Structure 1
Amino acid sequence: MKISPVTQAILAMAILCLMDPLVKSLATRYPVIEIAFFRFAGGLLISVLLTLYFRPAWPDKKSFITNGARSILVAISVLTLFYSLKLLPLATAVAVSFISPVFIVFLAVLVLGERLTLRIILALVLGVFGLFMILGNSILGVESSSVSWIGVAVGVVSALAYAVSMVILRLRATQDPIVTIIIFQNFTPTLLLLIPCLILGWVTPDFKDFLVFLCVGFLGAFGHFLLAQAFSQVSASKLGPVEYTALVWGVFYGYIFFDEWPQVITIIGAAAILLGAITLNHTSPESVSSNLGTTDDPH
């Protein structure tokens, strides 16, 4: 049975959000930059295995430049997200970081020239409504301290960098094999973070934490692999609102890992987000052939 791109994106968000509680627990014992390094290093290991299996063609100059630039944005997004997770409660950090779907939809319209259908607009409105219910409730519940607001600020930076990287992904996912994109977004950040990681307070992990680091890397690589596949098949404006489901996963993982029971207003916001995702899932399949090119087979 073929899985729809929207379902792939929802599953990708579930996998990527599973990293958050693991990262938050590691951040009490390790520098954020070291956690980010291991996240990309673990992802690089998975990416190399995928590359050896699929054997994609060698990327051209334009692919090197575009994917390299996008990889820097990915590194910035992950670093700031992890720092936000360290400073804020899990639910608040997740809520702040997923302002990104708003940025994605507007960038898709402004940069890619994509058209917003009524169904996508309805899904976006439901997502925005749910987002601001959870976001407003979370921020009002956070002590107004400099640390809290720094966490909120870096979370917004993470969301913006992530949104720009996703729009670039839409451009390259129709031209590059998925595996090529994945190898770039793990190799470049690993290389960039190696030296700073070693000189800015390196802490050698024990065996148990090393396994957790590898798990974080695997979840990141596999989640982005699914996300890249989804973005290669449908427009960015359609998949953008699906990322609101990350808030739902954040509530779920908060309860499982930290025994955080969501308030009524959070449940209402999560219900609106899910309704928006369901609205998108019932749209008819779209053709991705456009002036951007056609989808490349990952093999």
Structure 2
Amino acid sequence: MNTTTVNTARLGILCMLAGMFFISMNDMLVKSLSSGYPLHQLILLRSVVAIVFTVMLLMYEGGLKLLNTGRWLLHGMRAVFILIANTALYAAIASMPLATATSLYFVAPLFVTLLSIPVLGETVGPRRFLAIGVGFAGVMIMMAPQFSMGEGGLGWVVLLPVVAAAFYASMSVLTRKLGQTSRASALALHMQFAFISISALVWLVAGDGRFVTPDSNPSMQFLLRAWVWPAPADWLPILGLGFMSAIIGYLMTQAYRLSRASAVAPFEYVLLIFSLFWGWTVFGEWPQASTLVGAAIVIGSGVYVFVREGRLKSKRAA
């Protein structure tokens, strides 16, 4: 391997690490704003800011003609998938520690491997199937103590990060398929348009807060509370969400463009360290021991799947 290839791979890993840091900051800011604003308002404001940066990137890569791909149904499905994933994850973050939601969300790479079979026609051997099974066992270890609706329990909310992971995985598989003919900037712009359109629709239906009460679950309140004009002190973090939404997409695209997926994907798990840091320092949170044990199992399974896929691809290429 020559020096240029090594440096490019290292740059891809640095992009991944930076992307994970900004994702953790994004999640921290969303959680800090979740007690005062509805999620769909934050998503709309974030996307309005992000779309400015995304259009600049689109014009740099080739202009508006890149938007016309002729595969509108798949683009629409992808946008809906990521919207549901975002909604489920952020609703979970409003009710549970950041590290807990992040740990459960780490099942997404295992879903990606499963979905690649019917959607992309890829083959998954018995070893990776076993790793996937072990990973889902780790998820159950994390979820079991928190299913209770009693004191300390989360009830149905504990399912939200897993739902988010499933839809994120579906979006990722479609991105692989669409990425063969579409630029990253075009994919990002389609997504931002979907965020703005659906958030505006939710505002028309539920923007007055008619569907929640002060006694509603914190996640439901975050999803459906009434819109309010942002306080002056909140404009900076809201604008920060928009900037990070754009920069995260760019960094993640660069990470996978500059280096092999099997080399950079395991570094996604550094997100748990950042989430633990923000949860502890900003919100005074610390996850249960069962969460840490289950997270270790899920991360181990995910890393094995990534490494195994990388070795198999190298053998096929040879």
Q: TM-score, normalised by structure 2?
A: 0.72
How far is 1:185 from its partner?
Answer: 0.9
Map of 2:212 onto structure 1: none
User: Is it true that 1:28 corresponds to 2:53 in the alignment?
Assistant: no
From 92, 98, 110, give the equivalent of 1:90.
98
Q: Unpaired runs of 5+ in structure 1?
A: 291-299
Q: 1:83 to 1:266 in 2, by over 3 A?
A: closer
Q: Distance in 2 between matches of 1:154 and 1:265?
A: 18
Question: Is 1:184 the counterpart of 2:190 in the alignment?
Answer: yes
Distance in structure 2 (CA, Å) of the matches to 1:11 and 1:124 = 27
- Closer, same or farther in 2 for the Cα pair 1:259/1:11, shift >3 Å? same
Residue in structure 2 matched with residue 293 of structure 1 by the alignment = none
C-alpha RMSD over aligned residues: 3.9
Aligned with 1:37 (options 21, 35, 44): 44
Q: Which amino acid in the other structure matches residue 50 of structure 1?
A: L
Q: Distance in 2 between matches of 1:49 and 1:12?
A: 19
Matches within 5 A, 1:10-159: 11-56=18-63, 57-116=65-124, 131=139, 133-136=141-144, 139=146, 144=150, 148-159=154-165
Which AA in structure 2 matches 1:252?
F
Which segment is superposed worse, 226-235 or 27-36? 226-235
Name the SS for the 1:3 alignment partner. Answer: helix
Whether contact under 8 Å (2:107, 2:139) holds in the other structure is: yes
Which stretch of the first structure deviates more once superposed, 40-49 or 222-231? 222-231
- Residues 44 and 176 from structure 1, CA distance in 2 versus in 1: closer, same or farther, beyond 3 angstroms? same
CA distance in 2, matches of 1:123, 1:11: 28
Please report how far the alpha carbon of residue 176 of structure 1 lies from its aligned counterpart in structure 2 after TM superposition: 0.6
Distance in 1 (alpha carbons) for counterparts of 2:292 and 2:152 = 28
Identical-pair percentage = 26
Relative distance call for 1:114 and 1:7 in structure 2 (3 A) is farther
After the TM superposition, which of the residue ranges 249-258 and 69-78 deviates more from structure 2?
Answer: 249-258
Give 3-state SS (helix, strand or coil) of 1:18's partner: helix
Structure 2 gap ranges (5+): 1-6, 209-225
The answer as to 2:276 corresponding to 1:251 is: yes
Which structure would you say has the larger Rg?
2
Which runs of structure 2 are paired with 1:207-222 in the superposition (5 Å)? Answer: 207-222=232-247
Scaled by the length of structure 1, the TM-score of the pair is: 0.76
Task: Please say if residues 41 and 190 of structure 1, whose CA atoms lie closer than 8 Å, have aligned partners that are also in contact.
Answer: yes
Q: 1:281 to 1:14 in 2, by over 3 A?
A: farther
